[in-house]
Structure 1
Amino acid sequence: MTAGDRTVRLRRALPSDAEAAAGVWLRSFAAALPGVVRPRSDDEVRGHFRHVLVPARETWVARAADGDVVGVMVLEGEELDQLYLAPEWRGRGIGDRFVALAKERVPEGLSLWTFQVNAPAHRFYERHGFTAVERTDGSGNEEREPDVRYVWRP
């Protein structure tokens, strides 16, 4: 664990975190998935965080010592719906901590979707014991991007 890891705290998102969490999502999506077309504008993403994800889902943020939100995770039942890190904070163990938290919160098992083009995400989730169980042509997601469903069972 690096010194940077110890300065990051995971906690439930507050309404005041919605804008920063959306900003992390936008920057991370752009960095990790430059070829994937987003169906929502930046303002629509911010509104979705403000009006849906933070108030109605189990949304968590990673906050650095300086108060900046550097990661976001959303759980919806057994679905790990979102896990995004600020690009400059990747590789510091925050994603590992989010997955451990998700497994703690939903110990009976988790599932998630990620895009087929996102090979780093595949490696990350497989390293955490997730198994690919389904591949689609993307017709069932907003982006119309081929995706993969992963499942973790204890």
Structure 2
Amino acid sequence: MMINIRRSRHEEGEKLIAIWRRSVDATHDFLSNAYRAELEELVSDFLPEAPLWVAVTDQDEPVGFMLLTGEHMDALFVDPDVRGQGIGKMLVEHALTLAPGLTTNVNEQNTQALGFYKKMGFKVTGRSEVDDLGKPYPLLNLIYP
């Protein structure tokens, strides 16, 4: 499968929300159902308008996306159907070309993501007891050396 990375388009918002939903369902089983629903509502409002980088197939179908703000990667989600095919790595490598001192945060309980980032060479620089919305889901702060 050929993968290209390009900017997101407003009209593919629903497809990106579906990728977020499937990815979270596959990796975030530690979230309460109520909090997951709250997050989905926020994401549904935000994603269609966000300046995302999207990984697409040669048929231009989105299979993953990443949000980069300055040198901080705010989000990285890959469709679970294509996980393990290097798409997350491609998105991170794209981010590194734009922001060499890349930082990100990962839920401490998301062991798949934490393993992925460590394999990519990220180092843990700190820990927060709560997530970005102040909920009790600890975050690890990571940096690419």
Alignment partners' CA distance in 1, 2:125 and 2:112 = 17
Alignment partners' CA distance in 1, 2:42 and 2:81 = 24
Describe the SS at the equivalent of 2:58.
Answer: coil
Q: CA RMSD for the aligned pairs?
A: 1.7
Residues 42/115 of structure 1: CA separation in 2 closer, same or farther (3 Å cut) = closer
Structure-2 residue corresponding to 1:15:
10
Describe the SS at the equivalent of 2:38.
Answer: coil
Show CA shifts across 1:16-38 (max 9, x none).
Answer: 22221121111101111112132
Unaligned runs of 5+ in 2: none
Letter in 1 for 2:78: L
Structure-1 residue corresponding to 2:27:
32
Letter in 2 for 1:74: L
Give yes or no for the alignment of 1:62 onto 2:55: yes
Letter in 2 for 1:141: D
Structure-2 residue corresponding to 1:46:
44
Structure-1 residue corresponding to 2:72:
79
Structure-2 residue corresponding to 1:90:
83
- Aligned-pair CA distance for 1:42: 3.4
- Aligned-pair CA distance for 1:39: 6.0
Q: How many residue pairs were aligned?
A: 141
Letter in 2 for 1:10: I
- Aligned-pair CA distance for 1:43: 4.2
Alignment partners' CA distance in 2, 1:39 and 1:22 = 13
Give yes or no for the alignment of 1:136 onto 2:128: yes
Alignment partners' CA distance in 2, 1:45 and 1:36 = 15
Show CA shifts across 1:101-122 (max 9, x none).
Answer: 0100112x01111011111111
After TM superposition, the score normalised by the length of structure 1 is: 0.83
After TM superposition, the score normalised by the length of structure 2 is: 0.88
- Aligned-pair CA distance for 1:63: 1.2
Identity rate, percent: 28
Alignment partners' CA distance in 2, 1:10 and 1:42 = 24
